[in-house]
Copies of this chain bind each other. A is one copy, B any other.
Amino acid sequence: MVKDLSVSLCGLRLRNPVIPASGTFGFGLELADSMDLNVLGGISLKGTTREARFGNPTPRIAECTAGLINSVGLQNPGIEALVSDKAPALRRIYGGVIIANISGYSVEEYAFNCARADACPAIDILEVNVSCPNVHGGGMAFGTDPQSAAAVTKAVKAVTRKPVFIKLSPNVTDIVSIARACEDAGADGITLINTLLGMRIDIKKRKPVIANKMGGFSGPAVFPLALRMVYQVAHACRIPVMGCGGVARAEDVLEMMMAGATAVQVGAENLRNPTACPEIIGALPALMERLGIDSLQEIIGIVA
């Protein structure tokens, strides 16, 4: 029996729910030679700020059990390069959903960047990152408090007609109150989770592995936490959720969807296996067959 992998996200049809997560797939272009990008349901691009950024000092990467810490610190070429160069170039070779991941240091910068992205026809969805733990003063602070998350959402919604997903931080006491605040402020969807603030120490050198001491921890290790938050938010909000965090195989995609995710992002796993996404997508039909699932759309949030 033919399996229907497609899902509908804010009126957009994704051929399948699998999307490389922001920051773990560059601007898509870097991987165009290594795989057929067009098998991907969507692509979330590297987080972009108004100005180009070098990011944090290196080392930016630390290995962990079943995951890694990154402290890239939003290295990016700036919003103009995104809208005039990167996104259009990707659109020329990729027919799926293109998600611009937008960061900022102030509510105004978020709005400015989103307005620019709104004007770029190559971009389908805006994913507003209020959760980057790697940048001082920007990012995560907005995502740790319902009022500021709502303020960013409102400002951004005012400047765009494209669907806006707010990407939330797991480093919070009450994820539901923040997601609800975003929904009430007009968000079209929620992406979660971003990375957890983590740290490793090199016991030979007696210093942190990461130059910036701490960084964002993700990978299969965080899956149970991400799944819990996806479940909580999907059940507390009416808007769709893109589930993210530790997804590494087809089974994880189904688990996230059963918890309530409409689409599923794959992050760290791309770093250790650049063809993780096509492999996961390729494994879905047989797994669905084994579990008696004909259409993925059916299982979204099936766990009460």
Interfacial residues, chain A to chain B (CB-CB below 8 A): 62, 64-67, 69, 144-145, 171-173, 196-201, 203-204, 206-208, 213-214, 217, 220-225, 227-228, 231, 246, 251, 254-255, 258-259, 291, 299, 302-303
A200 partner residues in chain B, CB cutoff 8 A: 224, 227, 255
Cβ-closest chain B residue relative to A198:
B224
Q: Which of B65, B199, B203 contacts A228 (CB 8 A)?
A: B199
When the two chains form their complex, are residues B64 and A201 in contact, meaning their CB atoms are under 8 A apart?
no
When the two chains form their complex, are residues B66 and A224 in contact, meaning their CB atoms are under 8 A apart?
no
A188 → chain B closest CB, angstroms: 25
A197 partner residues in chain B, CB cutoff 8 A: 225, 228
- Tally of this chain's copies: 2
Cβ-closest chain B residue relative to A208:
B303
A233 → chain B closest CB, angstroms: 12
Q: Which of B171, B173, B303 contacts A144 (CB 8 A)?
A: B173
**With A144-B173, A303-B208 as contacts: A65 and B225 at CB distance below 8 Å:** no
A291 partner residues in chain B, CB cutoff 8 A: 203-204
A217 partner residues in chain B, CB cutoff 8 A: 224-225, 228
Closest A-B pairs by Cβ, 8 of them: A198-B224, A221-B221, A199-B228, A65-B220, A66-B66, A217-B224, A172-B173, A64-B224
When the two chains form their complex, are residues B67 and A201 in contact, meaning their CB atoms are under 8 A apart?
no
Cβ-closest chain B residue relative to A255:
B201
A254 partner residues in chain B, CB cutoff 8 A: 203
When the two chains form their complex, are residues A225 and B198 in contact, meaning their CB atoms are under 8 A apart?
yes
Interface centre among A173, A200, A203, A251 (most CB of B within 10 A): A203
**What 15 additional pairs, Cβ within 8 angstroms, besides A197-B228, A203-B255?**
A62-B224, A65-B66, A144-B173, A145-B173, A171-B173, A198-B224, A198-B225, A199-B231, A199-B259, A200-B255, A203-B254, A206-B299, A214-B231, A217-B224, A220-B221
